[in-house]
Amino acid sequence: MSYHDTVLLEESIDLLGVKEGGVYVDVTYGGGGHSKELLSRVKDCSLFAFDQDEDALENDVSDDRLTLIHGNFSSLEKSLTLYQGVPVDGLLADLGVSGHQFDEGSRGFSIRMDEPLDMRMGKSIKRNAKDLLHHSEKEEIMKFLRENSDLRRVGVIADAIKYHQGEGRMNTTGDLVQAVKKFAERGKENKLLAQVFQAIRIEVNDEINVLKELLIQSAKVLKPGGKLVVISYHSIEDRLVKNFMRSGNFKGDVETDLFGVPNSPLKVITRKPIVPSSEELERNNRSRSAKLRVAEKI
Q: Where in the chain is the domain with CATH 1.10.150.170?
A: 111-205
Closest CA to 154 of 167, 165, 143: 143
Give 207-265 as a DSSP string: HHHHHHHHHHHHHHHEEEEEEEEEEE-SHHHHHHHHHHHHHSSSS----B-TTS-B--S
pLDDT tens track for 67-107:
999 999 999 999 999 999 999 999 999 998 876 666 665 78
Helix and strand element counts for the chain (H, E): 12, 7
Contact criterion met (CB below 8 Å) for 116 and 131: no
CATH number among 3.50.50.60, 3.30.530.20, 3.40.50.40, 1.10.150.170, domain 111-205:
1.10.150.170
pTM of the complete model beyond 0.85: yes
Domain 9-99+207-297: CATH superfamily, name plus number: Vaccinia Virus protein VP39 (3.40.50.150)
pLDDT tens track for 36-70:
999 999 999 999 999 999 888 888 888 999 999 99
pLDDT at 295: 98
Chunked mean pLDDT (size 10), the chain, 298 residues: 77 98 97 96 98 88 94 95 97 87 76 94 94 98 97 96 96 97 95 97 97 98 98 96 97 88 92 97 94 98
Closest CA to 24 of 115, 86, 75: 86
Beta strands 291-297 and 66-70, pairing class: unpaired
Q: Where in the chain is the domain with CATH 3.40.50.150?
A: 9-99+207-297
